[in-house]
């Protein structure tokens, strides 16, 4: 194989398994389908084992692999607070049902009153560790992790992004906003 071809293969390999943030970085943004955001999200989600708390607001949630990881984390003692849009949870492929009645998982939903009043966030927060935001919902196609009929890549996946922020002040601000949403009197208690 020619040196340029080897370099391209190494670049592709490293792109699939890139470390989410270098030691000194406070923010890193990744774009799907170039990067598999599902793998990066799971990497960060597992860091909630340190803080023992995880806060999630996700509009669409159809990713089975992430749902299984959340169950694993809850069984390891992480208290997980999930905020959803009530109509979006009724989607036939939604995975929220897997998390109902799991010890340490608490679920609320914003009462969806139509287009102008949806819960459209795509975030998670691990206090003192990371705040993730961006356009990518938790669905394999949004995260660049879909393969249909053996076909993978841009044609089978959406164009999205996820940004991971380790700045403590930004994490606190995001958490404050999460509490504001979570404490709405009009919310639906899903558990």
Q: Would you write out the chain's pLDDT as a tens digit for each of its 191 residues?
A: 554 444 444 344 444 445 566 656 699 999 998 899 999 999 999 999 999 999 999 999 999 999 999 999 999 999 999 999 999 999 999 999 999 999 999 999 999 887 778 999 999 999 999 999 999 999 888 888 876 566 666 667 889 999 999 999 999 999 999 999 999 999 999 98
The neighbour count for residue 142, using CB atoms within 10 Å, is: 26
**pLDDT at 168 (0 to 100):** 96
Q: Go through the chain and tell me how many residues it has.
A: 191
- Domains by residue range for the chain, with CATH: 37-189 (3.30.870.10)
Render 1-25 in DSSP notation, one character per residue: --HHHHHHHHHHHHHHT--SS-TT-
Asked if residue 102 lies in contact with residue 119, where contact means CB atoms within 8 angstroms, the answer is no
Reply yes or no: is the peptide bond before residue 33 cis, omega within 30 of 0: yes
For tokens 């919310």, the residue is 187
Give the Cα separation of 21 and 144 in Å (integer): 19
Q: Which residues are within 8 A (CB) of 97 and not within 5 positions of it... i.e. 6 or more apart?
A: none
Q: Is the dihedral of CA 71, 143, 31, 125 positive or negative?
A: negative
Q: Which residues are within 8 A (CB) of 29 and not within 5 positions of it... i.e. 6 or more apart?
A: 134, 161, 162, 163, 164
For tokens 């009197």, the residue is 185
**pLDDT at 148 (0 to 100):** 59
**pLDDT at 4 (0 to 100):** 44
């Amino acid at each position: 194989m020619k040196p340029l071809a080897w370099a391209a293969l190494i670049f592709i390999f490293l792109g699939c398994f890139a470390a989410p943030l270098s030691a000194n970085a406070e923010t890193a943004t990744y774009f799907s389908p170039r990067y598999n955001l599902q793998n990066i999200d799971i990497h960060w989600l597992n860091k909630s084992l340190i803080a023992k708390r995880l806060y999630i607001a996700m509009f669409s949630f159809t990713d089975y692999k992430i749902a299984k990881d959340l169950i694993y984390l809850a069984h390891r003692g992480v208290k997980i607070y999930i905020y959803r849009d009530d109509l979006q949870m009724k989607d036939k492929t939604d995975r929220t049902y897997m998390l109902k009645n799991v010890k340490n998982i608490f679920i609320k939903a914003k009462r969806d009153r139509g287009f102008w009043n949806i819960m459209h966030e795509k975030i998670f927060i691990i206090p003192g560790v990371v705040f993730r935001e961006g356009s990518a919902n938790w669905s394999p196609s949004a995260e660049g992790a879909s393969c249909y009929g053996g076909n993978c890549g841009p044609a089978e996946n959406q164009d999205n992004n996820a940004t991971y922020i380790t700045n403590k002040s930004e994490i606190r601000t995001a958490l404050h906003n999460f509490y504001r949403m979570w404490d709405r009197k009009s919310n639906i208690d899903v558990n």
